Amino acid sequence: MEKVVQKILDSGLIEENSHIVLGLSGGPDSLCLFYALDSISEEMNLNIYPVHLNHKFRPVVADEEQKRVEELCLAKGWPCRSFVKDCNKIAEEEKIGSEEAGRNERYRAFAKVAKELKDKGTNNIKIAVAQNANDQSETIMFRTIRGTAISGLSGIKPTRTDEYGNNIIRPLLNVTRDEIDEYINTLGVEPNIDESNFKPVYNRNRIRLELFPYIEKNINKGCQDALRRLGEAAALENDFMDEIVDKVLKECIVSCDSNEDILRAITLDKTKLMDNHKAIVFRVIDKVINNMSLKDNVGRNAIKDIYDILNSDNPSAKYDITKKHVARRKYNLIIFEKNEEAIKVNKVKFKVSVVEKIDYNVNKPGCYAAFDYVKFLAEHGKTEGNIKFRTRQEGDYLPFKNGRKKLHDYLIDEKIPKEERDEVGFFAIGREILWMVPGEYFVKTDAKEKGRFSQKYQIDNSTRLVLLLEIIG
């Protein structure tokens, strides 16, 4: 038991006086981390906030597992926050796999609890998840087989920052599955067991259940340790290369347009960039694509094709990174930006008008939003001419009945992918969003058809004048 706790401390990820939001499925890994953190909580002044997600994958069993986790937490004096999500239904709605839907919902739940703590003024918050050393070796093997750049060989990072700005930590990355099982057995705790982990239905399961046992029996008993050592070496060299890449990128930037954590467009000096080794140029391209949140949609061949543009004699060569993003040459420049064909906001024609309620047709055809004009006047005065149709800007917010929400947070809650957030059209006055127009970027059907409205100027029985916002072309 002491060995596991010591490895967690040696990770350097657990600091004194921390508030730790802990992902707790109730399986061996997360229970191990829960009990280990509990054992040092008094000594290190830790506060633990267990979070459990009931995915509804196995309805009856999942409910029993949730209850068991909640009872274990209560016995230790750390009440568990449980979230129930039908992840199969969510996967169907979002057209993604059930596993991905489950992962997304878990991290949303962690972020929600972390935000609640921040809102109370709590500092030094970390979100701890329980990937272990075997998960690391499986990840490296999986990436190697599927195909990866050197950076991918570093495997799972011990820490990262999520899109909400939370610090995600993985204190068990140096603890093996055998050590975790021994720890749990010593405690005499009965973990939740996901039977699907023992069926070779997913590629990762096949690596764990079939490939590794074969290699360990016939080729190298220590293959998983060897893979982890490879990952450590790759991570060390990646850190060094990243420092060089950051320096080169900074020297090559001619112009840059970014919003929050997303790079919208960037122009680089081609000559300065190509003065570097090919490996550095590849990594600069990769970093730009990553900062534009396109990484999941772009493979290694795309980076090579963009490099070929840089090497080309054609001063206006271009490459479509995705359907909506392009890398193009402009003589001595290389520009990464949105495809002009994909940018529709500037081409939209709109109309702002005020009509008497008696003349307002609630079944009016077309794309429009309607508000109480008197309520709008009380807030803004006669300034409807300042209403603009545009894409998002820093500081935008959406009003609700009981306050407001940052637009950035709302887009995340609506599950609109990063790469599509700059395409959402808004009617706004100043930084206040009046109407998010409908579009396929929304998950929910009603939002796709009607968009999302400010709740600040809703029409009611007392309304006399209607402020009408219309898309007319």
CATH topology assigned to domain 229-342: Chorismate Mutase Domain, subunit A (1.20.59)
Domain residue ranges of the chain, discontinuous segments joined by +: 2-221, 229-342, 345-471
At 161 the three-state DSSP class reads strand
- In this predicted structure, the answer to whether residue 69 has a pLDDT above a threshold of 70 is yes
Residue 443 — very low, low, confident or very high, per pLDDT cuts 50/70/90?
A: low
At residue 171, what is the residue type? P
Output DSSP code: residue 80.
Answer: P
Q: For residues 335 and 385, which has the higher predicted lDDT (pLDDT)?
A: 335
At 59 the three-state DSSP class reads helix
Same topology between domain 2-221 and domain 229-342: no
Averaged confidence pLDDT in the chain:
88
Binning the chain into helix, strand and coil, the percentages to the nearest 5 are 50, 20, 30
Judge if pTM exceeds 0.85.
Answer: no
Residue 260 — very low, low, confident or very high, per pLDDT cuts 50/70/90?
A: low
Digit-coded pLDDT (tens) for 304-359? 999 999 999 898 898 988 877 899 999 999 999 877 555 555 567 788 888 888 77
C-alpha span between 211 and 215 (Å, rounded): 6
Digit-coded pLDDT (tens) for 78-109? 999 999 999 988 888 777 788 888 998 999 99
CA dihedral 456, 460, 464, 468 (to 10 degrees): 50
The architecture CATH gives domain 2-221: 3-Layer(aba) Sandwich (3.40)
The fraction of the chain above a pLDDT of 70, given in percent, is 93
Sheet holding 367-372, edge to edge: 350-356, 465-471, 367-372
Number of H-type helices and E-type strands within the chain: 16, 20
Give the lowest-confidence range in 150-159, 222-231, 257-266, 282-291: 257-266
Q: Would you state the pLDDT for residue 345?
A: 53
Sheet holding 262-269, edge to edge: 253-259, 262-269, 333-338, 325-330, 318-320
Output DSSP code: residue 357.
Answer: G
Q: Please report the beta strands in 69-133, taking only residues with DSSP state E, as ranges in sequence order.
A: 81-84, 125-128
C-alpha span between 257 and 37 (Å, rounded): 43
- In this predicted structure, the answer to whether residue 255 has a pLDDT above a threshold of 70 is yes
- In this predicted structure, the answer to whether residue 133 has a pLDDT above a threshold of 60 is yes
Closest CA to 102 of 68, 55, 165: 55
Query: Which element (helix H / strand E) includes 22?
Result: strand 19-23
Digit-coded pLDDT (tens) for 226-235? 999 999 999 9
Q: What is the mean pLDDT of residues 424-440?
A: 85
At residue 190, what is the residue type? E
Alpha helix ranges (H) inside 292-390? 300-311, 373-380
